[in-house]
Chain A
Amino acid sequence: MSESIKEKIENEAKNLLNTYLQSGEDLKAKERTKIPCQVMINQDPLIRRYNLDEVALGFTKEQAQLEAMRCLQCVKKNCVLDCPVNINIPGFINHIAHGNFEAAIKIVKETTLLPAICGRVCPQESQCQLHCAVGKALKDVDQSVAIGRLERFVADWERETGKKVLPDMKAPTGKKVAVIGSGPAGLVVAADCKREGHHVTLFEAFHKMGGVLRYGIPEFRLPNSIIDEEIATLKDMGVELRTNYVVGRTRKLTDLIEKDKYDAVFIGTGAGLPIFSGIEGENLVGVFSANEYLTRANLMQAYDKEHADTPIFSSKIVAVLGGGNVAMDSARMAKRMGAETVYVIYRRTENEMPARKEEVLHAKEEGIEFRFLENVKRIVGDTYSCVNSIECLKYELGEPDETGRRRPVEISGSEFMQEVDTVIVAIGNGSNPLISQTTPRLKVNRKGNVLVDSNQKTSMDRVFAGGDIVLGAATVILAMGEGRKAAASINNMLLHDIQIEKAELQEVYNNALDI
């Protein structure tokens, strides 16, 4: 988006807001739905495809107020029901509409501690915004109130204006909680348990905190500085941070309870086991899991070729296999790493793609080429075992399968060769086996996902789990929702422990008095 368009959008919003404010009257529903949807100002695609800076630049104050004024403040609040952490959406939006950002962020933070992250990466179009009355009235989900962008706006406003305050915390209880994995689920559990006064240790296998937020989601979608900020908040709250610690290897899970005397353990180790499709040539030089490619680029900062010691493959023509958000991230990252051509190869059509519409649009704007109804049959290498081409097969859509999506059917004899030098496999992740392998008592299903009850409790006493290790590969917000639920269960359990201990102490005291 060029400077002049940016200015134009900003000015339009300013003028329009003034008109509404000057009229001084309360707007009727019909008038509210007539307020134009505010356009998110993005970095120009021709520029951003060569840098790592964030793509979406966020609303201006005026844009945020106007967008918030579109909300009808309906009684039913369908948006809240579809939010995994049940944010009081009309409540915070109402404050934004009145320009009271401080009150707005306070409401948001009652239920989510990570709004700057959720506002950026949540699939709002399939959650809160899906059932927005405005979107329904205008018969277009894209015309719903931009709840996610408003959430991001108030979170950024709070951070940028230095208004951030530590959440209230109860007095220390002397209870210890071990949180394994510092991804979205773990961060929520750490914060929620710390607020109840428990001592919390957050264990992370990598050298930096954040889990998938750090190694997986690229800088251009979620800047590292935002993750750093959230981690710093946890540190300021008194959460003990332990990096380079692999539970299951450095110490067994049972040792945390038996030797280190943790009163509760939360497993939030995520879906860290890349799936390969098993086709010929998958081990050739130049074939990567999306995890590896993104970890090199994000966590190890290989995008900064001058400073980083970790290399990233230099590619000219890249094929990304898969159609989810991780495939979009990989494709867009490959482009930024200098690839001339990047294909996303997906065996169904755009309609069936699981990736967020916005990410697909951004990818297209950045010059990513989509090859729908195609699939890779084998990867071919040269005499040095380096990828030089892929053999593709064409597909057509058949009858719907059990998920309701039309099943892709291969067209026999449609094979053709495509020259590429890099293949990034982004077809999903299994659950990481490290903890279950070394904790035989922990029950897991066939896929290796940890089994939990409705309170996120596992088969083991005092051990809870949540996020992708339970759900299989899902979303950041679902992981946070599970983390919230698990933290509540842990806090309940510990409160119960404390009550029993107090009662026992009282009895000892009473007995002593009797003597």
Chain B
Amino acid sequence: MNIIIYKEQLSKDVFLMRISAPLIAEERLPGQFIILQTNDNYGERIPLTIADANIEEGSITIIFQVVGKTTTELSLLQPGDYLPALVGPLGKPTHIDNFGKVVCVGGGIGVAPLYPIVQALKKAGNYVIIIMGARNKELLILENEMKSIADELIVCTDDGSYGRKGLVTQPLEELCKQAFKPDMVFAIGPPVMMKFCSLTTKPYNVFTQVSLNTIMVDGTGMCGGCRVNVNNEVKFVCVDGPEFDGHQVDFDNMIARLNAYKSFEKKKMKCFVEDSFKQKEVLL
């Protein structure tokens, strides 16, 4: 168990891994996540959404962006290596139904968790329009996969290096303005993107589901580190979420909480890089 079966670099900092986890593969549903550690003694526990699963192979797929020490360590693992700790599936699954016309917005790495949701929505008979956004062409992931299932696909890049130039909120607003407006919007991506997608759809009264990725320790409701204000009520992302009504989420508070350990994380990363260089020097 927990052996890395396959690894692929999707863009500069983004990796895809298929990991053997038969129990999780069998139980997981769209919207759920796992928590993993690259070291089960001193390592931290990081939540990552399950992008796909294969019951026959007994594997799950994760897609992650290298942002700190643990994701860097993870990216250095090779097929055949194994993860000392992997737990899941956690969180409530996405509520899938035939909503009608659905717009799915994925920003950056958020396209990964969106993928299984899009698959399920399509299967449930929805008309699915996908808006994918990234800072530049290099950072776009899963475009072919999305293209193959979407009824309409709109790609945006911040710098205009591919697709439309601009933010995902522009096409989202255009779609909301249409006479036949969307019945439902799913938005997954950086917190700021989800915040502005929610602000975009609010005036048009289009229900917008967002998937939050807050700081977590246990992922089972025990620590409360992941809590967010939703409609002025405290909710735990790990057991009440990770998906919430974007119009009711206090994104500013959530973003502030996400930054609680930024300086520590930067310092850890710096030490890690310096140590790896030192080790390389010794080897050379």
Residues of A with Cβ closer than 8 Å to B? 205-208, 215, 243-246, 249-251, 272-274, 276, 278, 282-286, 288-289, 291-292, 295-296, 300-301, 304, 307-311, 313, 384-386, 432-434
Contact = CB atoms under 8 A, between A and B. Distances in A.
27 contacts: A205-B218, A205-B220, A208-B40, A245-B87, A246-B90, A249-B88, A250-B23, A250-B27, A251-B27, A272-B220, A272-B221, A272-B222, A283-B229, A285-B257, A292-B217, A295-B218, A295-B223, A301-B41, A301-B42, A308-B44, A309-B42, A384-B256, A385-B256, A385-B257, A432-B220, A434-B221, A434-B239
A123 to B, nearest CB: 23
Contact of A285 (B90, B221, B259, B265): B259
Nearest to A250: B23
B180 interface: no
**Overall SS of chain A's interface:** loop
B250 to A, nearest CB: 8
B195 interface: no
Nearest to A381: B256
B85 A244 contact: yes
Contact of B224 (A284, A289, A304): A289
Interface string B47-91: 000000000000000000000011000000000000011111110
A308 B264 CA distance: 11
A276 B252 CA distance: 20
B23 A309 contact: no
A310 B87 contact: no
B222 A291 contact: yes
B268 interface: yes
A48 to B, nearest CB: 23
Contacts of A386: 256
B253 interface: yes
B234 A307 contact: no
User: Which of B220, B264, B265 has the most chain A CB atoms inside 10 A of its CB?
Assistant: B220
Given A301-B42, A309-B69, A309-B70, A292 B89 contact: no
B20 interface: no
Given A249-B88, A249-B89, A283-B227, A432 B221 contact: yes
Nearest to B90: A249
A276 B234 contact: yes
Interface of B: 23-24, 27, 37, 39-45, 69-70, 84-90, 217-218, 220-225, 227-229, 234, 239, 250, 252-253, 256-257, 259-261, 264-265, 268
Contacts of B252: 385
Contact of A385 (B43, B222, B253): B253
A283 B217 contact: no
A430 B40 CA distance: 28
A246 B218 CA distance: 11
B258 to A, nearest CB: 9
B75 to A, nearest CB: 15
Nearest to B240: A433
A310 B177 CA distance: 45
A205 B228 contact: no
Contacts of A215: 222
Contacts of B86: 244
B261 to A, nearest CB: 4
B235 to A, nearest CB: 10
B23 A244 contact: no
Given A244-B86, A249-B88, A285-B260, A310 B45 contact: yes
A276 B224 contact: yes
Contacts of A208: 40
Nearest to A293: B223
A53 to B, nearest CB: 19
B177 to A, nearest CB: 34
Contacts of A282: 234
Contacts of A273: 221-222
A292 B27 contact: no
Nearest to B84: A207
Contacts of B256: 284-285, 384-386
B268 A309 contact: yes
B282 to A, nearest CB: 20
A384 B261 CA distance: 13
Contacts of A274: 222-224
A300 B222 contact: no
Nearest to B68: A309
Contacts of B222: 215, 272-274, 291, 295, 432
Contacts of B23: 250-251
A300 B90 contact: no
A215 B218 CA distance: 10
A433 B221 CA distance: 8
A284 B43 CA distance: 26
Contact of B239 (A288, A295, A433): A433
Contact of A283 (B88, B257, B264): B257
A250 B89 contact: yes
A206 B216 CA distance: 13
A246 B220 CA distance: 8
A434 B220 contact: yes
Interface hub of A207, A288, A311 (most chain B Cβ within 10 A): A207
A244 B227 CA distance: 22
Given A250-B23, A285-B260, A309 B224 contact: no
7 closest A-B pairs by CB: A385-B256, A292-B223, A272-B222, A311-B264, A244-B87, A309-B44, A207-B85
Contacts of B40: 207-208
Nearest to B69: A309
Given A246-B220, A283-B228, A432-B221, 11 more contacts: A207-B85, A245-B87, A246-B90, A250-B23, A250-B89, A308-B42, A308-B44, A309-B43, A309-B70, A385-B252, A432-B222
A250 B34 CA distance: 10
Contacts of A307: 42
A117 B81 CA distance: 37
Given A276-B234, A300-B45, A309-B43, A291 B224 contact: yes
A489 B220 CA distance: 29
Q: Which of B218, B253, B261 has most chain A Cβ within 10 Å?
A: B218
Nearest to B38: A309
Nearest to B264: A311
Nearest to A282: B234
Nearest to B39: A309
Contacts of B253: 283-284, 385
Contacts of A285: 256-257, 259-260
A251 B23 CA distance: 7
Contacts of A206: 218
Contacts of A243: 85
Nearest to A286: B260
A292 to B, nearest CB: 4
Output the residue of A246, A309, A433 with the most chain B CB within 10 A.
A309
A296 B217 contact: yes
B265 A311 contact: yes
Contact of A292 (B43, B224, B265): B224
Contacts of B70: 309
Nearest to A245: B87
